[in-house]
Amino acid sequence: MSNPNSESHQRHGLAALTLGAIGVVYGDIGTSPLYTVIEVFQPATGIALDARNVTGAISTILWALMLVVTLKYIVLILRADNRGEGGGLALTALATKAVDAERPQLRRWLLLMGVFGATLFYGDSVITPAISVMGAVEGLEVVAPHLDAYVLPISLAVLLGLFLIQRFGTATVGKVFGPVIAFWFLVLAVSGVHQIVQQPAILAALNPLHAWEFLTERGWKLFAALGAIVLALTGAEALYADMGHFGRRPIRLAWGLLVFPALALNYMGQGALLMRDPSAIQNPFFRLFPEPLLLPAIVLAALAAVIASQAVISGAFSMTKQAIQLGFLPRMTVRYTSAREAGQIYMPAVNWTLLAGVVAAVLLFKKSSALAGAYGIAVTLTMMITTLLTWFVIRDGWRLPRRIAVPATIVFLALDALLVAGCAIKFLDGGWFPLAVGLALFALMSTWARGRELLFDSIQRDGLELEPFIESLALGGAHRASRTAVYAVASFETVPQAMLHNLKHNQVLHESNVIMSVRFEDRPFVPDAERIALTALAPGFWRVAVHYGFMDQPDVPRALALCEAKGLRIPVFETSYFLSRETVVPTPGAGMANWRERLFAAMSRNAGGVAEFFRLPDNAVVELGTRVQI
Give yes or no: residues 343 and 472 share one domain.
Answer: no
Once rounded to an integer, what is the mean pLDDT over residues 74-99?
83
Residue 41 pLDDT: 92
Residue type, 99: V
Cα 54 to Cα 434: distance, rounded to the nearest angstrom? 30
Residue-wise pLDDT tens digits, 199-221: 999 999 999 999 999 999 988 88
pLDDT above 50: residue 5 = no
Give yes or no: residues 158 and 75 share one domain.
Answer: yes
Residue-wise pLDDT tens digits, 21-79: 888 788 889 989 998 999 999 888 889 999 999 999 999 999 999 999 999 999 989 88
Residue 157 pLDDT: 92
Which of the pair, 96 or 211, is modelled with greater confidence?
A: 211
Cα 496 to Cα 502: distance, rounded to the nearest angstrom? 10
**Which range in 10-19, 145-154, 179-188 is most confidently predicted, on average pLDDT?**
179-188
Once rounded to an integer, what is the mean pLDDT over residues 145-157?
86
Give yes or no: residues 67 and 153 share one domain.
Answer: yes
Give yes or no: residues 358 and 332 share one domain.
Answer: yes
Lowest pLDDT segment from 117-126, 173-182, 379-388: 173-182
Of residues 197, 364, 210, the one with CA closest to residue 288: 197
Residue 129, domain CATH? 1.20.1740.10
Is 573 among the domain residues?
Answer: yes
Q: How far is CA 409 from CA 79, 88, 344, 379, 404, in A?
A: 15, 17, 35, 18, 9
Is 457 among the domain residues?
Answer: no
Is 616 among the domain residues?
Answer: yes
pLDDT above 80: residue 177 = no
Give yes or no: residues 435 and 504 share one domain.
Answer: no
Give yes or no: residues 409 and 543 share one domain.
Answer: no
Whole-number mean pLDDT of the chain?
86
pLDDT above 50: residue 2 = no
Which of the pair, 90 or 199, is modelled with greater confidence?
A: 199
Which of the pair, 113 or 476, is modelled with greater confidence?
A: 113
Once rounded to an integer, what is the mean pLDDT over residues 441-452?
91
Domain boundary among 422, 450, 478: 450
pLDDT above 80: residue 391 = yes
Question: Left if phi > 0, otherwise alpha if psi is -120 to 50, otherwise beta: which for 510?
Answer: beta
Is 455 among the domain residues?
Answer: no
Number of domains the chain contains: 2
Domain boundary among 450, 474, 498: 450
Alpha helix locations (H) across 366-518?
368-374, 377-392, 402-424, 432-462, 466-474, 497-501
Give yes or no: residues 222 and 282 share one domain.
Answer: yes
Residue-wise pLDDT tens digits, 578-627: 988 777 887 776 678 888 988 988 888 888 778 888 889 988 898 877 77
Once rounded to an integer, what is the mean pLDDT over residues 87-103?
81
Give yes or no: residues 468 and 431 share one domain.
Answer: no
pLDDT above 80: residue 571 = yes
pLDDT above 70: residue 477 = no
What is the edge-to-edge ordering of all strands in the sheet holding 508-521?
Answer: 532-538, 541-549, 508-521, 479-488, 575-585, 621-629
Once rounded to an integer, what is the mean pLDDT over residues 543-571?
91
Residue 125 pLDDT: 82
Residue 338 pLDDT: 58
Helix (H) or strand (E) holding 30: helix 27-30
Is 539 among the domain residues?
Answer: yes
Cα end-to-end span (Å), the chain: 67
In 277-316, DSSP assigns E strands to none
Cα 124 to Cα 385: distance, rounded to the nearest angstrom? 15
Give yes or no: residues 291 and 211 share one domain.
Answer: yes
Residue 475 pLDDT: 65
pLDDT above 90: residue 468 = no
Is 340 among the domain residues?
Answer: yes
Is 3 among the domain residues?
Answer: no
Residue 343 pLDDT: 57
Q: Which string of b and e fits 24-59 if b means at least 16 CB within 10 Å?
A: bbbbbbbbbbbbbbbbbbeebbebeeebebbbbbbb
Task: Quote the crossing angle between the two packed helices 174-198 and 260-276, to the nearest 10°.
Answer: 40
Domain boundary among 450, 482, 501: 450
Residue 142 pLDDT: 76
pLDDT above 90: residue 315 = no
pLDDT above 80: residue 572 = yes
**Which range in 12-16, 141-145, 318-322 is most confidently predicted, on average pLDDT?**
318-322
pLDDT above 60: residue 4 = no
Query: Would you place residue 474 in the very low, low, confident or very high pLDDT band (cuts 50, 70, 90)?
Result: low
Instruction: Give residue 100's Cα distance to chain centre.
Output: 27
Residue 590 has phi, psi (to 5 degrees) of: -95, 5
Q: Which domain holds residue 486?
A: 463-629
Residue 276 pLDDT: 94
Residue type, 560: L
Give yes or no: residues 443 and 482 share one domain.
Answer: no
Give yes or no: residues 502 and 388 share one domain.
Answer: no
Residue 1 pLDDT: 42
Residue 583 pLDDT: 79
Residue type, 578: F
Which of the pair, 489 or 339, is modelled with greater confidence?
A: 489
Sign of CA dihedral 155, 45, 374, 378: positive
Do residues 416 and 384 lie in contact, with contact meaning Cβ atoms separated by under 8 Å? yes
Is 1 among the domain residues?
Answer: no
Give yes or no: residues 442 and 481 share one domain.
Answer: no
Which of the pair, 143 or 447, is modelled with greater confidence?
A: 447
Q: What percent of the chain has pLDDT over 90?
A: 34
Query: Would you place residue 258 in the very low, low, confident or very high pLDDT band (cuts 50, 70, 90)?
Result: very high
Which of the pair, 462 or 187, is modelled with greater confidence?
A: 187
